[in-house]
Amino acid sequence: MTLRKKIAVSTIAASVALTAFAGIPLSNKGLADKLGLNGVTYASSALTDSALVTEAKKLYDALVATGGWPKVQALQTALDGLDIHVKGDIVDPIVDRFNPTDAEETQLEGLFFAAVSLSYNPSVEGLDNLRIQYGPLLQSFATEAGVEDLTVDDVAEYFFDIQKELVAQVKNKSLSALLDLMQNKDSVKQLMSDVLNALSGKNYAVQQVFTHYEVKTADVLEVLTRSRTAVNKDSLFTEAAVALFTAYESLNPPTTNPGTNPGTVTPVVPLPVSTDKLLNDLKAALDKATEAEKAAIITKFVTDAKAEIATLAAISASTNVSNVNGQAVLQLNETSLLSAIAGISAVSDKVKEVAPASALAKTALIINLGAVTQKDVVLNLSDAAVKLAAAGSVSGATFVVDKFEITIPVGGTFSSAIALTIKKSDATAEVVGALKSASEIYDFNLTVGGTATTSFNRSIVISIPLGDTTGLDKELLSVAKIVDGKLVFHGGRVSGSSIIESRDSFSSYVVVENKVSFSDIASVEAWAGREIQVVAAKGAIEGKAEGKFVPKDKVTRAEFAKMLIRALDLENGSAVESFDDVNSSDWFAPYVAAAADLKIINGRSASKFDPNATITRAEMATMISRALKVQGAADVTDVNAALKGFADAAKINATLKEGVAFAATHKIVIGDAGKFLPNNNATRAEAAVIIYRALNFDN
């Protein structure tokens, strides 16, 4: 097989299949190797410093960020894995145009096999040997075509321009239309013919060589057809095409239009037709209305706006899921997604403008993949979508995969392209030991902007479907993190047939029934026994020794911080605190930091937290109330009225009265014989009861 066959397989066929430059090593030698042009004279231009390398890196990063890298890699692997004779047959339509001599055939055969070997064991030394041994031979063919010093830059420029022209010709198509096109061989041929013809008027060195040897567009298209047939799996080409298309689209994010409010991002794509109509109808109605009529029009608009946002936020994505190497991969229609996000923000902004008192909270997209049979699922949000959402009125995205749900926020850690892989496996005894499992094992791998991310400053919320819970105590179910083969319990709230848990980090998780027993709680069993068992099952409170709860011991401020943060899923590994008496190595430091970050807890002074001091009932009530308000609970409207029934209300510190009023109103902390006893220290049993009530709080 000649070098020209190698060139055609690794550049022409792959590029026409929309996969060229996937994963290019970013050096002049590495790029040449990837292109199969190991013998090309490199000339004096340093490709490592060229604009083409910058462009290649951007494309590679975009493929990684949008989750497309595995797709183009799968196709490249399939092409590379073809039998050598099959590769020769694929590119015969081009190779036959060159008519190499037998001697050239033999030499180029050696180059081909050496290049294949090098591709599986790349090295600069090996590449230099190829360059020295075969470079002059390759250049001799270029010279015959009147092209001196054919460089890697020349080849790279040509194929980048093929890709750019292709995207230009399909950029207005929806993803579904692109899929339809790519699944029709005649349509693909016509598309690529249009692309190549569009470039025919430009003076490319590569085209000069092809023209000299009378390589026709039809020859290149025939190579495409043969390569698809040889791979014998059209889905690889389709999925790689969509991946590359999406990557290119992500490199052109929405821009800020002059004249808009600072920070307002206006998408390049138009608003949804329904949104345009809603906004235009409002304007027309207000323009014609009297002042007396405007209030009713605006009231109706607010109602219609909520309905419009709900419609735009609900995205049915079952047709956007592809099977890639056994994984269910979600690749949303970028144009439609950006349009929906822009529509939500536009409607929300208009509500805020015409009815400030009715301003709407940010909305999460609900992206429903439907029933997915694969164990592994890959979820993607492009860089453009994340940025547009974060700048507007979208709080994040809830992905629904059959009965599993996960809500990912935007902003903070999640400020660029998001790719999340979820892998399910059976919960074996090797993992859960003697405990009874109530779910499969879920393993999460997250990248943000192409970078692996395991902890984040805004919580992700997961809703894990429960399996058969017959015979299990649902109140004792807990989400357990698998750490070095051991289970660390993180709680979670059972809702129907699922358990909901907020996470500030990712690993592997499973739901188990966690029965915890203590031998020293008989004296409090009647009023605190069940509560202690449940709170311990959730991992929010632990015994002081094996089997010993010590229910009458006083609770310290540090201990209660952990109980509260762990029980209510408020952990935040990114939070930091600045108290002089809390060291980062202290066991309670992350809980104090999370509580301080959410303003749930204050220090005893500006610089002192006093972690080992006992906590009072009023302090505990206040921390509980602040934590529940973080989760959306409403303030007590009349604090004094709420405290009126306590004879010792005057003893409550003024800064704690609001918290005590909240806790007392909702019967989370209950008084004793007409007194609240605000300055009494709380026992561990009392703390367990209060945490249990907070877990079951319903605003």
Q: What would the pLDDT profile of 223-280 be if each residue is shown by its tens digit? A: 666 766 776 665 666 666 666 666 666 665 544 343 344 444 343 456 899 999 999 9
Identify the pLDDT of residue 242: 64
388 neighbors 338 (Cβ within 8 angstroms): yes
Residue 20 burial by Cβ neighbours in a 10 Å radius (0-12, 13-18, 19+): buried
Over pLDDT 70: what percentage of the chain?
65
Identify the pLDDT of residue 528: 93
Is residue 152 in some structural domain? yes
Identify the pLDDT of residue 323: 84
Least confident range from 55-59, 348-352, 490-494, 500-504: namely: 55-59
Its domain, for residue 569, covers 522-695
Q: Which of 66, 65, 53 is nearest to 21 (CA)?
A: 53
Residue 81 makes CB contacts below 8 A (sequence gap 6+) with none
Q: Which residue intervals of 81-151 are DSSP H helices?
A: 84-95, 102-120, 124-144
Of the residues 250, 266, 294, the one at which a domain ends: 250
pLDDT tier, 112 (very low <50, low <70, confident <90, very high otherwise): very low
Q: What is the 3-state secondary structure (H, E, C) of 528-592?
A: HHHHHHHHHHCCCCCCCECCECCCCCECEHHHHHHHHHHHCCCCCCCCCCCCCCCCCCCCCHHHH
pLDDT surpasses 70 at 535: yes
Q: Which of 400, 241, 235, 248 is nearest to 324 (CA)?
A: 235
Is residue 421 in some structural domain? no
74: how many CB neighbours lie within 10 A of its CB? 20
Higher pLDDT pick, 80 / 686: 686
Is residue 652 in some structural domain? yes
Q: 588-593 long-range contacts, Cβ below 8 Å, gap at least 24?
A: 588/558, 588/559, 588/561, 588/562, 591/558, 591/561, 591/562, 591/564, 591/565, 591/566, 592/558, 592/561
Is residue 458 in some structural domain? no
Residue 310 parent element (H or E): helix 291-313
Of the residues 200, 230, 250, the one at which a domain ends: 250
Residue 122 burial by Cβ neighbours in a 10 Å radius (0-12, 13-18, 19+): middle
The mean pLDDT of 525-548, rounded to a whole number, is 92
**What's the rounded Cα separation, in Å, for the pair 85 and 257?**
55
What's the full length of the chain, in residues? Answer: 699
Is residue 505 in some structural domain? no
The mean pLDDT of 656-679, rounded to a whole number, is 89
Least confident range from 81-85, 215-219, 389-393, 694-698: namely: 215-219
Higher pLDDT pick, 656 / 41: 656
Q: What pLDDT digit, counting tens, does each position of 633-644 carry?
A: 888 888 989 898
Identify the pLDDT of residue 406: 96
pLDDT surpasses 50 at 44: no
Q: Which of 75, 377, 374 is nearest to 242 (CA)?
A: 75
Angle between helices 28-35 and 152-170 (to 10 degrees): 60
pLDDT surpasses 50 at 404: yes
Q: Which of 213, 232, 242, 203 is nearest to 19 (CA)?
A: 242
How many domains, the chain? 2
577: how many CB neighbours lie within 10 A of its CB? 18
Identify the pLDDT of residue 566: 87
Is residue 269 in some structural domain? no
Is residue 336 in some structural domain? no
Higher pLDDT pick, 212 / 179: 212
394 neighbors 363 (Cβ within 8 angstroms): yes
Least confident range from 46-55, 295-304, 353-362, 687-696: namely: 46-55
User: How does the average pLDDT of the chain come out, rounded?
Assistant: 77
Higher pLDDT pick, 413 / 129: 413
Of the residues 250, 276, 294, the one at which a domain ends: 250
Q: What pLDDT digit, counting tens, does each position of 572-631 carry?
A: 777 787 889 999 889 899 899 888 888 888 888 878 899 999 999 999 999 999 999 988
Q: Which residue intervals of 401-520 are DSSP H helices?
A: 429-432
**What's the rounded Cα separation, in Å, for the pair 614 and 596?**
18
Could you give phi then psi for residue 93, rounded to 5 degrees?
A: -55, -30
SS3 content of the chain, % helix, strand, coil (to 5): 50, 15, 35
Is residue 316 in some structural domain? no
Structure tokens at 339: 């349009």
Q: What pLDDT digit, counting tens, does each position of 296-316 carry?
A: 999 999 999 999 999 999 999
